[in-house]
Amino acid sequence: MAVDTATAVPPPPPARQQENKEEQPYLERGKKRHTGPLLLGILVVWLVVFALLKNHDTRALGLQDTTDFHEWLNRIRDWVQLHGPDNWFFGGVLGFIGDTFNNIFTFLQKLVSIPAFPRPVPQIGWLGVVAVFAWIAWAVAGLRSTILVVITFLLFGVFGLWQDSIDLLLVTILAVLVCFIIGLPLGIAMARRTTMSNIVTPLLDIAQTMPPFAYLAPVALGFGIGPTTAIVLTVVYALPPLVRITEHGIRSVPETTIEAARSLGLTSSQMLRRVELPMAKRTIVVGVNQSMMAALSMATIAALVNGPGLGKPVNAALQIQNIGAASVAGLLIVLMAIMLDRTTTAASERSGGVASVSGPQVLLMGVVLEKLPRWATEDAGRGVRHPRLTNAGKWTIRGLWLIPVLVAVYLSRQQLNFAQFPGRDVWGFLKPIDGKSVTKYINDFSNWFIDKVDTFTLALKNDVTKVVINPFQNLLAESPWWAMALVILAIAFVLGGWRPTVISAVCLAIIFGTGLWNDSMVTLAMTLLATLLVMVVAVILGVGMGRSRRTDTIIRPFLDAFQTIPPFVYLVPALALFGVGRFTAIMAALAYAAPIATKLVADGIRGVAPTTVEAARSTGSTTWQMITKVQLPMARESLVLATNQGLLYVLSMVVIGGLVGGGSLGYIVVSGFSQDQLFGKGLAAGIAITAMGVMLDRIARYAAARVGR
């Protein structure tokens, strides 16, 4: 690939040569690798072996069949089930953690979301909760965030999902708090000691690629059925981004700054508190942000083991195939994600030390400020006449605003309509916009739409499956296992050198050990096809977005929505459109993975130096040439990153794919969660998915490092 790109870039005009050289210093010097011909050679040998030894040694395993390894895992599980409660660790330590968090959570729930027996309503009703959260948002993040918070909270109530929404918010806040308490020190330790980093990073990889379905039941076994299990599951998934980003943030503090601080004689802990943490603060906030998004994406999964929150209505709607009801709950999850994201971002930007009273607020409060006592205001400086608030003044105003908040809380304890969000029978004006109506609108629309197009989409699924999916899958799954292993290793070597080859060998050995080789190859085939499709979509959309701001503004909200909406929401529409099958699984993966890849591609296209684009334009290249010969090749690092992320996102959808006819590993994981005697097999499938993820990620990364050079 490196060779191709080198020749593809048109010779830059002389005037710009200097600049271009700086951008791609290694382009001409790279050792010539015969990647293309070598890959072709591998393919030819592979096809010959396939033709001769098709369906030999494929290691296929029947649906209900298990291996000794699976049975061994079952026996461990049985032991924990029978003896766990009396064991010091499972019953004692985990039980204690479980009880503690359950109690904290129930206390909070009674405060704001569930009836506090014997009261028929929570201690603080919806009006009080909205007022308190609005006040907090206003105090830390400003007016805009406050409006966003109020609207979102009101929609929780209007859609009739107040309790589930607040529960999910509580789970998310508690889980992210735990992540912060564990993740911050861990990230710091990793930044300071390479050995620590080397030990923890693979664990984070596992936590992120292991499908939660595989360990759902055991976690529920250890921590009991309740909020704690939901919090633990959420923490496992939400911790890695926070740790990784914290490590990155601390590491990115410039060496010169550290040196300067050290020369002042700061101790290690002073250095951390006064230099490293403050400088890495912004990055860490990004980590917290990502952690929140990851936490929300666990909502539907945690609900399978009684995790409180909006996952419950989504799952309940799935049982009765109610697309509208699932969408309404899913939409609230999206809104909650947007609210948390924007508010924390605004809060962090504000705490950067810039004066907080600015913009429209100055205009609004100008008159008031003039009348405040001197201790509360200071000059804005530079001869501007607007006065500015001192800290004491800010707090006085905030304190004053607390009074209406407290009144709201009081009312919400006194009046039923302020305690329990009124439905349409109390507030008639809600009728056209409440949860029931919106559910009906969505159901009507989706029925109409599906009815119009389903014969076409079902036919499309059949054709694509026959022409593309079946042949490719047969090649991977019907080759002898040893031939497949050799092919993968050879490709890893050609693309990335000996390091990824060694890692791949270990991963393949693990996959072989799980006894699920054949299913793994089926999953691999679908994963690769889905990733390819993701990249096609990402490049088309990403180029459009990168080249035009307008396109970007139109498309981006959809990308955000698809990234945060729980896949369970679009399971039923996907099934209605495409029927049961592997194609549908690939479509689900596409819906989830395309947004992140598209964003990265768009980012890369936009990052191409405008001078280069100008130069190419001045040589008279057409739009098509511009895209294919200049912008895409120059953005190749982003393309590689997009492929890598797309691949990991696709892999995380393998289990969801199993629910819509993807079969293979995904289905095995789900059935392991559902059937007692398949627990071991399901866990083994989870291990196989993890191994495959790590393998593909490493091959892609090392290959990318080469392309980058």
The footprint of other proteins on residues 422-461 (CB under 8 A) is: 436, 439, 454-455, 458, 461
Structure tokens at 343: 């508010």
409 in contact with other proteins (CB under 8 A): yes
Least Å distance between CB 242 and other proteins? 18
Residues 66-85 that bind other proteins (CB under 8 A): 78, 81-82, 84-85
Q: Which of 139, 206, 532, 561 binds other proteins (CB under 8 A)?
A: 139
**Minimum distance from CB of 452 to other proteins (Å)?**
12
Residues 642-701 that bind other proteins (CB under 8 A): 658-663, 666-667, 670-671, 673-677, 679
Query: Is 303 among the residues that bind other proteins (CB under 8 A)?
Result: yes
Q: Which of 62, 265, 360, 381 binds other proteins (CB under 8 A)?
A: 62
Interface with other proteins includes 702 (CB under 8 A)? no
Residue 252 touches other proteins, criterion: CB under 8 A:
no
Is residue 38 close enough to count as binding other proteins by CB under 8 A?
Answer: no
Closer residue to other proteins in complex, CB, 125/183: 125
Q: 613 to 632, contacts with other proteins by CB under 8 A?
A: none
Indicate which single residue of 3, 8, 384, 406 sits in contact with other proteins (rule: CB under 8 A).
Answer: 406
How many residues does this entry show for the chain?
A: 709
Quote the CA–CA distance of 297 and 239 in Å, as a whole number: 13
Query: Do the Cβ atoms of 688 and 643 come closer than 8 Å?
Result: no
d(CA 491, CA 615) in angstroms, rounded, equals 38
Shortest approach of other proteins to residue 454 CB, angstroms? 7
CB of 6 to other proteins, least distance (A): 42
Which CB atom, from 314 or from 484, has the smaller least distance to other proteins?
314
Q: Which amino acid is at 95?
A: G
User: Which residues 185-244 are close enough to bind other proteins by CB under 8 A?
Assistant: 217, 220-221, 224-226
Q: Indicate whether 275 belongs to the interface with other proteins (CB under 8 A).
A: yes
| Binding flag, residue 23, other proteins (CB under 8 A) | no
- Indicate whether 349 belongs to the interface with other proteins (CB under 8 A): no
Tokens of 58: 């494929």
Say how far apart CA 335 and CA 168 lie, in whole Å.
12
Tell me: does residue 318 bind other proteins (CB under 8 A).
yes
Under DSSP, is residue 353 helix (H, G, I), strand (E, B) or coil?
coil
Helix or strand (DSSP H, E) at 389? strand 387-389
Residue from 381, 383, 399, 620 in contact with other proteins (CB under 8 A): 399
User: Residue 87 has which token pair?
Assistant: 């064991």
Does 17 participate in binding other proteins (rule CB under 8 A)?
Answer: no
Number of residues that bind other proteins (CB under 8 A): 101
Sign of the CA dihedral running 687, 175, 650, 247: negative
Beta strands in 73-202 (DSSP E): none
Give, in order, the Cα–Cα distances in Å from 397 to each of 357, 369, 377, 402: 11, 10, 11, 9
> Coil, helix or strand for 666?
helix
Omega before residue 118 within 30° of 0, cis: yes
Residue 377's H or E segment, with its range, is: strand 377-379
How far is 208 from 48, CA to CA, in rounded Å?
38
Tell me, what DSSP letter sits at residue 34? -
- Please identify, using beta-carbon distances, which residue of 30 and 84 lies nearer to other proteins: 84
Footprint of other proteins on 542-571 (CB under 8 A): 571
Nearer to other proteins, 592 or 667 (CB): 667
Three-state DSSP class for residue 125: coil
Residue 665: how many other CB atoms lie within 10 Å: 34
C-alpha closest to that of 333 among 349, 319, 317, 347 = 317
> What is the distance between the alpha carbons of residues 693 and 705, in angstroms, rounded to a whole number?
18
Out of 465, 479, 504, 652, name the contact with other proteins by CB under 8 A: 465
Contacting residue, 24, 390, 396, 462, with other proteins by CB under 8 A = 462
Cα-Cα-Cα-Cα dihedral sign, residues 272, 276, 282, 284: negative
Closest approach, Cβ 224 to other proteins, in A, equals: 5
Report the residue from 44, 76, 416, 609 that binds other proteins according to the rule CB under 8 A: 416
- Compute the least distance from the CB of residue 227 to other proteins, in Å: 11
CB of 279 vs other proteins, minimal distance in Å: 7
Residue 513 binding other proteins, by CB under 8 A? no
Nearer to other proteins, 14 or 265 (CB): 265
Out of 190, 231, 285, 405, the residue judged to bind other proteins by CB under 8 A: 405
**For the chain, how long is the longest CA-to-CA vector?**
92
110 makes contact with other proteins (CB under 8 A): no
By CB under 8 A, tell whether 575 contacts other proteins.
yes
> Cβ closer to other proteins: 281 or 617?
281
In angstroms, how far is CA 481 from the centroid of its own chain? 33
Q: Compute the distance between CA of residue 145 and CA of residue 343 in angstroms, rounded to an integer.
A: 5
419 forms part of the interface with other proteins (CB under 8 A): yes
What separation in angstroms does the CA of 443 have from each of 229, 449, 453, 478? 33, 10, 16, 42
- In the bound state with other proteins, the residue whose beta carbon lies nearer, of 555 and 571, is 571
Contacts of 498 (CB under 8 A, 6+ apart): none
> Which residue number, 161 or 694, has a Cβ lying nearer to other proteins?
161
Q: How far is the CB of 265 from other proteins (least distance, A)?
A: 15
Rounded to whole angstroms, the Cα distance separating 670 from 666 reads 6
Q: Is 119 in the site for other proteins (CB under 8 A)?
A: yes
